[in-house]
Each structure stands twice: as structure tokens, then as C-alpha cells.
Amino acid sequence: MSVLSDKTIRKFCGVDGMVRRRDNLLLDIQPVSIDLHLDEIYLYGKKRQTATLRPGIFCLGSVIETFNMPDYVVGMVVGKSTNAREGLQIEAAGLIDPGFKGDITLELKNLHHEFDYRLTRGEPIGQVYFMYTDQPVEVPYGLENGNHYQGQRGVTPSYRQSRIF
């Protein structure tokens, strides 16, 4: 499995529309990844554009970038090192399956024991790496596989949210 380079990422995003920004700004393409930028935050049952996470607090967030994954590319969402050094964890569920279409919902938690973490719409929040699969998948991400989040827009709580909210 090879990690895709900036040149290949640009090709897939330009020709195939694999990733685009809903605000129509240019993608922030790095040597082997695309930076992700925070859009909405879902904290204490409300959607917000800014939020302060106290130590140990968890929330959901969405990113401005939206995805249309080919049937032979997988994405891996990881945190930004600056945010991680300040105590923010994001990648609890970081796989973007081949065939996924829609927005990414992040799980955000302030791991710091002493300081609050302020989240603001538009800030770099993570990055996504892309890899080829050895061949196109037989059945891409979607309802045919029992997947629940195909086509999601903005912050999307768990389909089982009644268990926790």
C-alpha cells in the first residue's frame, strides 16, 4: 500500500473531485496529506462555531472539506501535531472507506489535565492521508454494507445517539 503524494492528491481532487471545500477555498495540500479545517462543533446538544473544551471534555466536530472517495482509495484521518501537543485528541474513528461520500465527523477530546482548549471554526484541526487499495473494493461504503453515515452533512451524531444523549 502506497501513501499518495501531493501530485496524485491534486489530480484526484481536481479531475475526480475526491475532496473539495464547501467554502470554495483552495485545499490545503501538504506533501502527502490534506489539512482539514474545523467547521461546526456539537457540544452539550447544540451546534456551535466556537467552543471551549474543559479538561476531559468530549465533543463532535465536522470539517469544511467534503469527500467523494474512489472505490480504490482509502483515507486515514490523524491529528495535527500542534493540536496534539496542546492536548487535543481527534482520531478515534479515522478511517474514510472507499466509496464514502459526505462530510467527516470528528471525535474531539481535551486530554489536558489543567487547561481548557478553545475550538474555532476554520482552524486547522487534522489531516488526511490517502492510500491505494490493492484493487477496487467489491462493495464500496454505503447502505448495502450496513453503513450509516453515507451522505452525511455537517456534524452527525451516532446513529445510536439515544444511548448517550
Per-residue pLDDT of 65-102, as tens digits, reads 999 999 999 999 999 999 999 999 997 678 999 999 99
Structural domain boundaries in the chain: 6-151
Whether 122 and 15 have beta carbons less than 8 Å apart is answered as no
| pLDDT at position 159 over 70 | no
* The pLDDT value given to residue 162: 45
Catalytic residue among 91, 107, 138, 144: 107
pLDDT at residue number 1? 64
CA 71 to chain centre: 18
Q: What percent of the chain has pLDDT over 70?
A: 92
pLDDT in tens, 12-67: 999 789 999 999 899 999 999 999 999 999 998 899 999 999 999 999 999 999 99
107 is catalytic: yes
The more confidently predicted of residues 160 and 121 is 121
CATH number of 6-151: 2.70.40.10
Return the pLDDT at 165. 44
- Per DSSP, what are the bridge partners of residue 70? none
